[in-house]
Structure 1
Amino acid sequence: MNNVNLISDRIIFFINQQNLTINRLATLADIPGATLNDLVNKKGKTVKLDTLTSICPILGISVTEFLDFPPYNEVEK
């Protein structure tokens, strides 16, 4: 699974947990709805850090907490 898919799945996890819609999160985070929609629907090729730093406070988490899941928090051997 690539990074965009992992990030997309993580956003979906948090918006479901917060009972938000994609459009509501985009509005609250002041980012274009199309940007977030493309990301969640895995249409993009990259994820901008600016996008994460905009949505994480709305989700009530830090970027560090957002990325704290496998494979990002696994230590390479």
Structure 2
Amino acid sequence: MNDHELIFERLYFLLRERNLTMNRLATLSGLRQSTLSSLEARPTGVPKADTIRLICQALEISVHEFLDFPPYNEVER
């Protein structure tokens, strides 16, 4: 699984957990729906840090919480 798939899988999980849609996330985050749609549609696109920060603010979690899942929370040796 690439970074795009991992990040969007995590985002979908958090949206389902909070019973939110991507459209509602756009409204809460101040991002355009088209911005989220274009990120979602690009198979290699990974949201920039400022976009992730806005998403996290809308979800009322920290960026650390957003990225606290494997493989991002594992130490590579």
TM-score normalized by the length of structure 1: 0.88
Match of 1:74 in 2: 74
Q: What one-letter code is carried by the residue in structure 1 that aligns with 2:42?
A: K
CA distance in 1, matches of 2:10, 2:35: 16
Q: 1:28-50 CA distances to partner (integer Å, 9 max, x unpaired)?
A: 100010121233x4425231111
Q: What one-letter code is carried by the residue in structure 2 that aligns with 1:28?
A: L
Deviating 4+ runs (over 4 angstroms): none
Gaps spanning 5+ residues in structure 2: where? Answer: none
CA RMSD of aligned residues (A): 1.3
Q: State the percentage of identical aligned residues.
A: 51
Structure 1 residue 76 displacement after superposition: 1.1
Match of 2:6 in 1: 6
CA contact (8 A) 1:5 1:42 kept: no
CA contact (8 A) 1:25 1:55 kept: yes
Give the direction of change, closer, same or farther, for the CA distance of 1:52–1:46 in structure 2 (3 Å limit).
same
TM-score normalized by the length of structure 2: 0.88
Gaps spanning 5+ residues in structure 1: where? Answer: none
